[in-house]
């Protein structure tokens, strides 16, 4: 698809900004997003090409404004719902539950 991911030759992104000695993961949520994606992929419900297509289907503005593992998270969630592992309602409900729990603990 002609998505925002198809970046070859685009202008306007500015300098490359390589971080010296950067860590493999920058936050715990990145580790989890990475591992969950690989672990769920192992079920064989989708293949790597389906994974890429799921990430590509992120709205172009959102794709360009978010980081790499946020693309992975979007793709994972889309596949989990499309393949029937989870529903959006379940995810929303669990997010609300965790948020409430964390607010209480704070």
Q: How far is the CB of 46 from other proteins (least distance, A)?
A: 8
What does the alpha-carbon distance between residue 102 and residue 106 come to, in Å, rounded to a whole number? 6
CB 106 to other proteins: min, Å: 14
100 binds other proteins (CB under 8 A): no
Helices 28-41 and 48-56: angle between axes, nearest 10 degrees: 130
Concatenate the DSSP letters of all residues of 41-76 into one string.
HTTSSS-HHHHHHHHHTS-HHHHHHS-HHHHHHHHH
60 makes contact with other proteins (CB under 8 A): no
Q: Which of residues 19-58 bind other proteins (CB under 8 A)?
A: 19, 22, 24-27, 29-36, 38-40, 42-44, 47-50, 52-53, 55-56
Q: How far apart are CA 78 and CA 46, in angstroms?
A: 11
**What is the contact surface with other proteins in residues (CB under 8 A)?**
1-2, 5-19, 22, 24-27, 29-36, 38-40, 42-44, 47-50, 52-53, 55-56, 64-70, 73, 76-77, 80, 85-86, 90-91, 94-95, 98-99
């Amino acid at each position: 698809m002609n998505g925002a991911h198809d970046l070859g030759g685009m202008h306007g992104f500015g300098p490359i900004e390589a971080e010296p000695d950067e860590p493999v993961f920058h936050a715990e949520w990145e580790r989890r997003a990475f591992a969950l994606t690989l672990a769920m992929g192992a079920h064989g419900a989708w293949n790597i090409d389906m994974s890429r297509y799921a990430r590509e289907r992120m709205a172009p503005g959102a794709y360009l404004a978010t980081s790499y593992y946020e693309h992975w998270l979007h793709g994972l969630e889309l596949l989990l719902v499309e393949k029937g592992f989870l529903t959006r309602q379940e995810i929303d409900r669990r997010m609300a539950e965790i948020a409430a729990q964390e607010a209480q603990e704070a």
